[in-house]
Amino acid sequence: MFSDRVSIVLRSGNGGDGHVSFRREKYVPNGGPDGGDGGDGGDVIFEVDPGMTTLAAFRHHKTYAAGNGSEGGKKRCHGKRGNDIVLQVPEGTIIRDQESGRIIADMSGKDNSRRIILHGGKGGIGNMHFATSTMQAPRYAKPGKPGIEIDVVLELKSMADVGLIGFPNVGKSTLLSRVTNARPKIANYHFTTLHPNLGVVDFGDHEDGFVLADIPGLIENASKGEGLGHQFLQHIERTRFLIHVVDGASLEGRSPADDIRTINDELVSFHEGLGEKPQVIALNKMDLLPEEERQHVIDQLREDLGDSDIPVFSISCATGEGIRELLNYVRARLAEMPNETTVYETEYFPEEELTEEELPFSVRKEKGEYYVDGPRIEKMLGFTNLESEKGFLFFERFMRENGIEDELKKLGAQEGDTVHVCDYEFEYVE
């Protein structure tokens, strides 16, 4: 029923193995090596689908794997690249490493509509590359590099400017439906809303409107997960402003001030930043009170809230009274704030993380040339595309951070010297 947080497994494809074969031609007894390279494994890619609003699509399926690269063939045939797997998610989806909880990607904002989350392992090179003057018939090729598998959690944090919060049944969805084109379910019982609903408040005056999100009702201990509070609260983390809806008619016997304090305590316990978001109180269902009692209820609430300076608007979603004033106020406050969506930064780089395992490597000098190899280097090269700028920068950083650069310097490497890094050959530059 709730699907704004799901755990899944992602796996990128293995690289195909390089091939060992020799050219067979008439009258040529020993043809040269012609085994082709293995194909690279497929990538795991995430893409925003603007039409999606929940993560429900991920509920019934656990593992998402890209295809493996095929083995290289004879006659220098390159193995087929593994198929990528493209996962469509709603905007605002955050991908986290399950174990550490750190963020791998935030699928929101213009630059993040498509992200490669895991690269496939690289294909191994075939024996055609190993023909040298000293070894004419190489009988070995390189195996493909394995892909990467990680457990992740997908979590949806809505992309709204303003959030509607409050106890169940106070009229949050009714307000959303009155001021936007969203059509959420409205009913006279608790937890009618199970997923956030988003709508655009359009003022019809060519000025910017804002995106309003209605979330499921919050209750005491929501911050501890009660009533699935975590899933609900995560949806207002990106908002810049909150409309705190309370039942002014106290239909369920609670006092508006108690409700407000309870919910605000939950916001702070969930995440300090939530408690600091500016709010306005919408005292709703005021149509149910006789005219002469309304002012009394407003005054009482202000008194109960003591020195809190949260503004209070008296409204009715049934008659529409007070709503315009409320929205104008919210718009004016938003206009004073920087208009930028929160996009969470990447804290976890699956591929780099894996190279941090303490695998060995060695750096040595032989006949005036330098050799860097070992499992650690192989692992890094297994998913680093040296032909892309980003990949090459990562490679340089890897060499620096692992002390390989220093090591080369110590061995006396000079500008222009040859450095072999596994199967690659570089010129040393200071």
137 binds, among ligand GTP, Mg ion, none (CB under 5 to 8 A by kind): none
Q: What is the DSSP string of 41-74?
A: PPPEEEEE-TT---SGGGTT--EEEPPPPPPP-S
Q: Of 390, 391, 419, 381, whose CA–CA distance to 144 is shortest?
A: 381
191 binds ligand GTP (CB under 6 A): yes
Based on CB atoms, which residue is closest to ligand GTP, 105 or 170? Answer: 170
Contact 76, 69 (CB under 8 A): no
Restricting to residues 303-332, name those near ligand GTP by CB under 6 A. 316-318
Residues that bind Mg ion (CB under 5 A): 172-173, 192-193
Burial pattern 285-313, b for ≥16 Cβ within 10 A else e, equals: bbbebeeeebeebbeebeeebeeeeeebb
Q: For tokens 């000098």, name the residue.
A: 365
Least distance between ligand GTP and beta carbon 186 (Å) = 4
Q: Does residue 287 touch ligand GTP according to CB under 6 A? A: yes
* Of 88 and 192, CB closest to Mg ion: 192
193 touches ligand GTP by CB under 6 A: yes
Question: Whole-number minimum distance, CB 387 to ligand GTP, in Å?
Answer: 53
Q: Are 16 and 124 in contact (CB under 8 A)?
A: yes
Q: Which of 147, 216, 227, 256 binds ligand GTP (CB under 6 A)?
A: 216
Chosen from Mg ion, ligand GTP, none, partner binding at 9 (C-beta under 5 to 8 Å by type) = none
CB of 296 to ligand GTP, least distance (A): 18
Cα(278)–Cα(9) distance, rounded to whole angstroms? 38
Nearest distance in Å: CB 317, ligand GTP: 4
Q: Which CB, 152 or 165, lies closer to ligand GTP? A: 165
Contact set for ligand GTP, span 111-170 (CB under 6 A): 166, 168-170
173 counts as binding ligand GTP under rule CB under 6 A: yes
Question: Shortest Cβ distance from residue 186 to Mg ion (Å)?
Answer: 7
Give the torsion sign (CA, 340, 276, 235, 260): negative
Residues in the chain: 430
**Residue 316, binding choice from Mg ion, ligand GTP, none, Cβ under 5 to 8 Å by partner class:** ligand GTP
Tell me which residue of 166, 165, 137, 21 sits closest to 79, measured CA to CA: 21
Residues 6+ apart with CB under 8 A from 51: none
Residues that bind ligand GTP (CB under 6 A): 166, 168-174, 186-188, 190-193, 216-217, 284-285, 287-288, 316-318
